[in-house]
Amino acid sequence: MTQKVGIRDVMRNFKILEQYDIVEIEDKKTKRLKGLFISEKWAKELKDNIEKMIEQKRQEEVNEIMKFAGMFDGEIGNLSSQEIKAKKREKYLK
């Protein structure tokens, strides 16, 4: 179950966090979301998913950079990223 509460409500009654699976904490004055509280039973699963998303984003950035690796040395020409990776592997295996 999800609930939206104000910062003051949490400060006055901390047990409100135990009553719900997800609690959105917002500043009632500005109507801006300040945080999200996830209950213990969902925390590990959510953390694992976030870590996977971060790792995937990092890998995408590396793949994007690898497209240009060696471009300035003139050694890759018009090769695809897979061909560039294969060349790099061959270079380091020698």
pLDDT tens for each residue of 23-44: 999 998 998 999 999 988 889 9
Q: pLDDT > 70: what percent of the chain?
A: 87
- Three-state secondary structure call for residue 26: strand
* Residue 3 contacts residue 16 (beta carbons within 8 Å): yes
pLDDT at position 51 is 96
Cβ neighbours of residue 9 closer than 8 Å, sequence gap 6 or more: 16
Alpha carbon separation from 90 to 66, 75, 80, 84 (Å, rounded):
15, 13, 15, 10
**This prediction's pTM:** 0.53
